[in-house]
Amino acid sequence: MYKYKHETEVEADVESTFAWFEHEGSFRRLMPPWEVAEEVRADDSLEVGSQRVFRFPMGPVKMTWVAEHTAYDPPNFFADKMVKGPFWSWNHEHNLSQSGGVTKVVDDVSYQVPFGPLGNLVDKILGGMLVRGRISRMFTARELRLKRDLKRHSDFSEQERKRILVAGSSGMIGTQLVAFLDTGGHEVWRLVRRVPAEGRNEIFWDPENGELDRGSIEGFDAIIHLGGEGIGDRRWNKKRKRNIKDSRVESTKLLSEAICSMDTKPECFILASAIGWYGDRGDEELDEESQIGEGFLPEVCKEWEGAASKVEESGVRTVYLRSGIVLAATGGALGKMLLPFKFGAGGPMGGGKQWMSWISLDDEIYAIHHLLMSQNSKGKYNLSAPRPVRQKLFARTLGRVLRRPAFAPLPGFVIKIIFGEMGEKLTLDSQRVLPSRLVDEGYEFLHRDLEPALRDSLGIWK
């Protein structure tokens, strides 16, 4: 039997810290950001008998992990065990204690690796790091998320909790945003395009066919719309480009019309947009006052934001999120880059002189939270880190973090041949975007520089 212990100190009282763990969203927030994990079920409780179930890839197959809670003594102790999963046994105790304004969280884990004596032998040959190294990385990520989330929630602790409706909640950003808001004690509902699950905070809509029960979305303090078909999933043709635009514009119109017809409107409407608004601008520094660019993506963003103009005119505080490249190991641009870079086949694209405006996934979440809770925040905001980089530097930095060479160039003409207009616009266009309004409002970026952001995303710390 192996044992592992990890200690975390957070600047919060023990009741607030324990309450964070009790929310369903903590399960998602504690998942290491580089793990491709699918949440199957998470009971909204830590009480004895409650379970949390997820699946994750292990080689070519998906492994199911079922954790069942075995002890519950708030606000100082809870425990769980693995009843199904990759280990022969796994028992995890969480001990919380407070001294002054600081809470210590002690994780005590006892586990047995698979295959008994054979597993022990393999682990011993590898210096104990085959399993223990992965566990250590996981708990480092858990520590960072817990401390950071509690700090961000505390920034607005004096405000009442909100009732929030989120469209696009199943995407890369939406999944983490819903989980984060839930751990802050907000009542979060999802707009979904399938039959709502029984007992869940879900409301049906079908924006493609204009279906939305307007009465069902009354009474929310805030509505957040993050939906839209992925723009980098496959090559563009006329039909694909139409779907990209319509999925954003028509769904926003549907929500906007519903909000405008309400007797009691939400205090805030937040709409996802993108730095695609600015188009290909070379070395020009771009802030929220910069003019719109030319081409397909600027046209989409213009119609997208324009579809919410009536909400703004009706007096609802409206926020437009012009997001840069969101860094996440499990999806988006970074997720697509990882495989070739891990094999040493990464490098600059199209010469590498174009600017990349990026933002870490946690900064994306925290910035949205800041704009949601700051009652004077309205209008257009660039959600991108203060220090954009040229693509060549991005490639070199990613290679350094992965400890792989990153000098294999991918010429622009090859990108155009393989990926067409989609590849050209998403990888070769240059956008040097600055988050001027967020900085002016005092938002504190977690990741101002690229390398720390990549290390956090991938769990590769110095």
Note the maximum CA span of the chain: 69
Distance in angstroms (rounded) separating the CA atoms of residues 385 and 364: 9
Tell me which residue of 339, 330, 459, 449 sits closest to 394, measured CA to CA: 449
Distance in angstroms (rounded) separating the CA atoms of residues 281 and 296: 14
Distance in angstroms (rounded) separating the CA atoms of residues 293 and 309: 20
Distance in angstroms (rounded) separating the CA atoms of residues 339 and 336: 7
- 459, 32 Cβ separation under 8 angstroms: yes
Domains and CATH numbers, the chain: 2-154 (3.30.530.20), 163-458 (3.40.50.720)
Residue 171 CA from chain centroid, whole number: 8
Residue 121 CA from chain centroid, whole number: 38
To the nearest 10°, report the CA torsion of 128, 131, 134, 138. -120
Q: Per the structure block, which two tokens stand in for 445? A: 């970026």
pLDDT number for residue 120: 63
pLDDT > 60? residue 430: yes
pTM of the model: 0.95
Tell me which residue of 359, 364, 386, 387 sits closest to 453, measured CA to CA: 359
pLDDT > 90? residue 232: no
Q: Per the structure block, which two tokens stand in for 178? A: 């819903």
pLDDT number for residue 92: 97
pLDDT number for residue 381: 98
Rg (CA), the chain: 23
Distance in angstroms (rounded) separating the CA atoms of residues 199 and 185: 18
Query: pLDDT (tens digit, 9 = 90+) per residue, 3-55?
Result: 999 999 999 999 999 999 999 999 999 999 998 888 888 887 899 999 999 99
Please, what is the end-to-end C-alpha distance for the chain in angstroms? Answer: 29
